[in-house]
Amino acid sequence: MSKHVALVTGGGGGIGAAVCARLAADGHRVAVVDRDAAAAARVAEECGGLAIVCDVTSDVAVKAAVDEATAWGGRLDLVVLNAGSTGGQSGVDDLDVAAYRRVMAVNVDHVVFGTTAALPALRLDGGGTVIATSSLAGLTGMPDDAVYTLTKHAVVGYVRSVAATLVGEPVRVMAVCPWFTDTALITGFRDRLGDFPLLGATDVADAVAAMVERGESGECWFVQPGREPGPFRFRGVPGPADDAGAPPRLHGEG
């Protein structure tokens, strides 16, 4: 049997590089996708994989990357849509429209493009998995960067909805939601975090590996320093009251 094949966007550094290394160690053949050709090549060489240069904000480029990885590996089993960008603005008084469009394209559009492009291949050979990188900011409000928070909530909503749409199909769709992680992405505001503990990139990679092993479609796993990662338990939304005016039961609750 062929080894399982994984594609990781934003694989040239930070969390993406750690995920590539962990997946390779677990026996995957890994396609490392990044806009930085040198970074993609370095990580691909380290994990014995394939480097693919790609602008993930382009649906055409993302589909081409998925097709290249699938042709290279002969199959596609796992897609980790990890590429991301910070918003760097509150989106309230200081809205930079160009910057807003850019972070939406990287953090949201690429997850949609990647999922759509990968589904045909993932449906083959017994099914596959999509894991999108969200954030704890996708599960709660984060002050000072409403635009980033918006994008990560969008990823969570998309993942949960796609999983519901694909019920009965052999494809899992999940999100990983880490706390602040010690990567270049937080360089601009790391000092403002004070003494809060940070995750390491390998902590998030370990969570992704656990999700691959035992995660269920639609789950959004939190990753916090010092805690075992696991699926966030969403509270159901109130349903309509019955004719007798009884308190509504929450969807998803017994």
In this structure, what DSSP letter does residue 221 have? E
Taking phi first (over 0 means left), then psi (-120 to 50 degrees means alpha), and beta for anything else, what does residue 64 get?
alpha
Cβ atoms of 165 and 115 within 8 Å: the answer is: no
Task: Find, among 50, 92, 91, the residue nearest to 72 by Cα.
Answer: 50
Per-residue DSSP letters for 53-68?
E--TT-HHHHHHHHHH
Decide if 100 is catalytic: no
Cα torsion 186, 192, 193, 195: sign: positive
Q: Which of 50, 62, 108, 148 is catalytic?
A: 148
Cα–Cα distance for residue pair 122/170, rounded to 1 Å: 8
Assess contact for 56 and 242: CB atoms under 8 A.
no
Q: What is each CA distance from 72 to 8, 127, 229, in whole angstroms?
A: 14, 18, 32
How large is the angle between the packed helices 201-214 and 14-25, nearest 10 degrees? 50
> Whole-angstrom Cα distance, residue 208 to residue 22?
9
Active-site residue list:
148
